[in-house]
Amino acid sequence: MPRKKSQSTPPRQTLRARKVLSQARESTQGLLTALDTVRQTRKATRGALTDEEQDLLRATLVFAAAGLDSTLKELIRGSIRSLAAADPDVQAELEIFVQRQLRGDVDEPDTAAGHKFLSKVLVASSPQERLIDEYVTELTGTSLQSAQQLMKATKALGLDPKQMGIDPKKLQTIFGVRNKIIHELDVNLAKTSARRSRNSRRRDDMEGWSTRLLEIAKALVAGVEGKLKG
């Protein structure tokens, strides 16, 4: 007689998301360990971090944000079809998406764009599958590293952003720092000193923010798995 699967076995739809999240955790922890190793090597027990040490700290937040982005995208790709078939909240968000597409641009309605979208769906061998494909592309086609995009994707999975620990104001601060690092190299153009022309980041802040992002990713995975198992 075959063994029954353990109750703790995760659904197949979330396996890729779990793998991404695991790698993100290992990477961020590895960077913090590397930072400690560098400081121990130069026998630094206190004082400001060097430029190189600051870069390790910056990389920690970048990796955590990327981990949240990739985890959420894999959750969408892996589970949205199953959820859309049975979950009322997911179906409601899907209906909103369809309505927006049929209207064309929300601010400036484009009937031609709506007709084009409808034609693509209707001529597909499986209109429902094509519709879901379009929805997945819409949700994962851009970066999910902003509070607004994160909330939109979370609602698409039928989850309550507040219950997932998503605080727009706090996330705006975190993603703001992440964007300064990615897009501006964390350079502070207001500073006149050539030696310290970049923003100095506190370890407590950067480590705390990185942890917060990965905690949200973990909550999203658990939330989707709860819906799939329910």
For 78-94, what is each residue's pLDDT tens digit?
999 999 999 999 999 99
What is the reported pLDDT for 105?
A: 63
For 107-121, what is each residue's pLDDT tens digit?
556 677 888 888 888
Which of 25-39, 80-94, 141-155, 188-202 has the least mean pLDDT? 188-202
CA-derived radius of gyration, the chain: 21
For the chain, first and last CA: distance in Å?
Answer: 26
Separation of CA 85 from chain center: 23
Averaged pLDDT for residues 4-31? 89
Which residues, at least 6 apart from 155, have a Cβ–Cβ distance to it below 8 Å? 89, 93, 161
Q: Cα dihedral sign for 190, 192, 196, 202?
A: negative
What is the reported pLDDT for 48?
A: 87
Which tokens in the block code for residue 185? 């190299």
State the pLDDT confidence band at 188, using cuts at 50, 70 and 90. confident
Share of the chain above pLDDT 70, in %: 92
Given the structure tokens 């949700």, which residue do they identify?
139
